[in-house]
Structure 1
Amino acid sequence: MRKVLIVEDDKFLAAIFSLFIKDLGHLLVGRCQTGAQALEMCQSEKPDVVLMDIHLEGELDGIETAERIQRDFEIPVIFVTSDTSSQVVERAIVANSYGYLVKPVQKNELSITIDLAYYKHKAVIDQKRREQSFRRYLAEAPVAVIIVHDGRIQYLNMNALDLFHTHYIEDMIGLPLVDFVDDCSKGAFNEFISNNAGTGRVAERHDIVFMGLHKKPLDVAITGSWIEFNGKQALQIVMMDITPEKSAIRDCEKLRYALFMGGKGVMILDQNLKVSGVTPGFKSLIRLEQGSDIKDLNMDERLLMSLLNGNFEEQQETTITYLNKNYKCMVFAIGQTQKKTRELIVKIVE
């Protein structure tokens, strides 16, 4: 049984439709003659289906009323009219009606149209709710998610915006995602995009270097799956910031290089430029103990602080002056600036 509202300014036809509705086992929740009355009754009676004449008295015609009913109350509307002019039919189509019955209407025809409208609308609403739940899940997901169609960004959640250092979705929406990929990773990224194109989950994780909005490199691990988004096949990409992981690997390589690849000794300085470690070779040249400061070494503290603050990623050359003797050094930073784990490796090379 469906709850049906009839909007018809012809009292005789309204009476006939009322009899049809009752004979078909549906509940007639009301009859009215104007668009304004129809809006009021939709709000109060909440019908399942509305039968709508197109040519109504008052400020709103049937098509305008139907558009407002579907927008404000999400109720399907079936047009019932004797007007088959192309202009009116086109307006009805644009209004997303759920049926267009031409008077005179037969009872079995009305029955079928009501059931079709009800179930079609129910399917549309269910799909809409699922999409809303999906979008809510994406928005609240604890990882960065970007959805791409034909290579262009269609959606990204807040974690993805944070990853790329922006608060505004407009900065990235509609742009090719490859524009944010560093040149060194474009081959791997194109391989990822083409991997199992359109066939479910993209199996392999790829480590990609992206460029944020501030043009700083981002080490990111990506996986993905092909989904339907806004009625189109799209690639959903899950992104995980692996900058700490990659940074740790690079730091190990730097430390290995400092300790084992030539040089006469190594000193490690902490965030406060205190000595946190020295090798025997360094100690044999410059007698510093752990916990000492570098005031007596006459080093370029401005350069050291710039390295600690992340202003330089490459190693820098400087000099230690100790007991009137100069020692040429290479200095490079390890650790993460934002987590205050940055340290300096000072390697005497001459």
Structure 2
Amino acid sequence: MMRGRVVIVEDEELVAQDIRYILEDAGYEVAAIFHSAEDLLESLEKLEPDSIIMDIMLEGELDGIDAARIIKKKMDIPVLYLTAYSSDEIVKRARETEPYAYILKPFHERDIRVNLEMALYKHEAKKNRVKLVREKAINEYLKRSIEEKEQLLRELHHRVKNNLQLIISLLSLQIRYIEDPGVEEFFRDYVNQLRSIAMIHERAYPSSGTYIIDFQEYVRSLSSHLISAHGRASDVRVTVSGDTAELNMDTAVPLALITAELISNSLKHALSGGGEIHIEIRRFNGRHRLVYRDSGPGLPEDVSFPEGGSFGFRMMDNLAGQLGGHIKVESSDDGVVFIFEFFEQFYADRIT
């Protein structure tokens, strides 16, 4: 197996050929032999060697140290000097180019093999260290960037909750001055819808760059709040069952508005004398199914879903379409059943 491509730069042809045989016997490929630094620099980029063994004193105007200095600026190739010169001045100049070895002539072939092997090993280790440092720097940058975005998301989430509370408090204060019972009920319904959204933000927890809602637990809290708000805690019971449904905010908010409207309608119209509400959520084939039923008398004969009902029915139908589904209604003397199949939504999907 070839151990690497080496270029030899030596103005003595016999010495160059000797080095070539030593390298080839050791399993290296000699990519080229040059006698001058100028010829080396002209062809180096095409050859792409793994290492260069170079004499210092060469034909032409540039010596080996000049060539090594140019190579260091342009390419990351380990250079090994092979020279008969050992004066302090030459060694000082050579050291400035950070060579991987400085082998004095006359050399032993073992010197060539060992120094070249060590040079290639050190060069590979250096590249790996540089790679690790670069990757660490990139990872640190990405980590800081993610932390900054998460902090911004938490801040926005916090501000949304605060703003919702401000609107709820404003409407609640205004309701105190309303004397018409019908208008008061109208505004209380809107306050309850806003609270249903606020509860979504209160119960959301971050996961994989977004906020997730445990919708079963949310429905239990929502139903408890609405029952208390309507003063029906003593005569209405709500049960929630089915599969664990962890939904993102894009899905949970419209679904919460639909669920809040269904519960409010049951409390106001279907269960005036008390009764039960059962909410079931199931997961299947990439979809979700919400089944809502109450024990009331069912929809009146002159009311149909969605056109024949109130604004609330039309709102539910529009929100169902936003979630990529539809609501089916079954009504009988044993109560009413709303069956809603939908898909989890993602912001990017809605944009496209």
TM-score band, normalised by the shorter chain?
0.3 to 0.5
Q: Which has the larger radius of gyration?
A: 2
Higher-helix-fraction structure: 2
- TM-score scaled to structure 2, two decimals? 0.42
Report the structure, 1 or 2, having the larger strand content. Answer: 1
* Normalised TM-score (structure 1): 0.43
